[in-house]
Structure 1
Amino acid sequence: MRTTYMAKPGSVERKWYVIDATGWRVGRLATQIAMILRGKHKPEFTPHVDTGDFVIVVNADKVVFTGRKLDQKKYYRHSGYPGGLKVTTARTMLNTHPERVLYYAVRGMLPHNSLGRQQLKKLHIYAGPEHPHAAQKPIPFVPGETRE
């Protein structure tokens, strides 16, 4: 009788990947990041265990929206008070807080529970080309080559 392999939280080996977001479309890049954060590129992927790797995204201000999404896509937030709905377009968000555009896209692709929140903490996004994680020796990300 065979049993299915289940990864244990303590036995997961984590790598660090660095991704240059220059020229990537937001949704295409977010799916790749979500796959790495969840650990779906690993053979020991277990849905209820955080088996994913760390992701560093640089040049987040150079991501691309297709079509008319820059003006038509809207981000909503609420202050909690009556009439406190704030609406921001993608163009404004990309100019003021470019890292939030990618953060919200990835957050929507992860599980909406405590596991998803734990996986989201392994994402580090920077608007410019520099990041402070050189000590972790991140591996450059190449799409399609993350399978182990």
Structure 2
Amino acid sequence: MSKTLSFKTYSAKPGEVKRTWHIIDAENQVLGRMAAQIANVLRGKHKPQFTPHIDTGDFVVVTNAAKVALSGKKRDDKTYFSHSHYPGGVRIDSVKDLLQKKPEKVIEHAVWGMLPHNNLGRQLFKKLKVYAGPEHPHAAQMPVEMKINQ
């Protein structure tokens, strides 16, 4: 008797997902390339049980956010635009200023742009932890070093 293959599509259940912690050193890493790989890990696309509508991703800790690299002249030219919806409420921040004041926001903004913009994306985004310096409070979770492909 021969065994037949099953052609059923596997769908992960929220309780079955095993989450690990990854740590990334952002020093001299190109922002966009790093953000794309972080978004894939947050979504769980690196796992064989990836399911698009379920949070199958892992936690990501990013350190040294202040030392992230930007290609070209983006450090001088790139700006972030926001508006408060009040008259005269335009706020334009340059990357150069933001890297000095709140370097975490630069990485968070880049990763958020690569996640789905819905309830699942907001849930995924909560698993991203970004720190300006090399110290982080997540040593107890034993994060695994993650290499960024350049």
| Shorter-chain TM band | over 0.9
Q: Unpaired runs of 5+ in structure 1?
A: none
1:116 aligns with 2:118: no
Question: Residue 141 of structure 1 aligns to which amino acid in structure 2?
Answer: M
For residues 82-131 of structure 1, the C-alpha deviation after alignment (integer angstroms, 9 at most, x for no partner) is 11010011111111110000000000000010000000000000000000
| CA RMSD, 1 decimal | 1.0
- The structure with the larger Rg is 2
Question: Residue 58 of structure 2 aligns to which amino acid in structure 1?
Answer: D
Please, what TM-score do these two structures have when normalized by structure 2?
A: 0.93
Instruction: Give the deviation of 1:77 after TM superposition.
Output: 1.6
The 1:112–1:3 alpha-carbon spacing in structure 2 relative to 1, beyond 3 Å, is same
Partner of 1:48: 53
Work out whether residues 34 and 148 of structure 2, in 8 Å CA contact, stay in contact via their aligned partners in 1.
no
Partner of 2:65: 60
Q: Unpaired runs of 5+ in structure 2?
A: 1-5
Partner of 1:107: 112
DSSP-derived class of the 1:110 partner? coil
Question: Residue 62 of structure 1 aligns to which amino acid in structure 2?
Answer: K
Please, what TM-score do these two structures have when normalized by structure 1?
A: 0.94
Aligned residues: 144
- List structure 1 runs of 4+ shifted beyond 3 angstroms: none
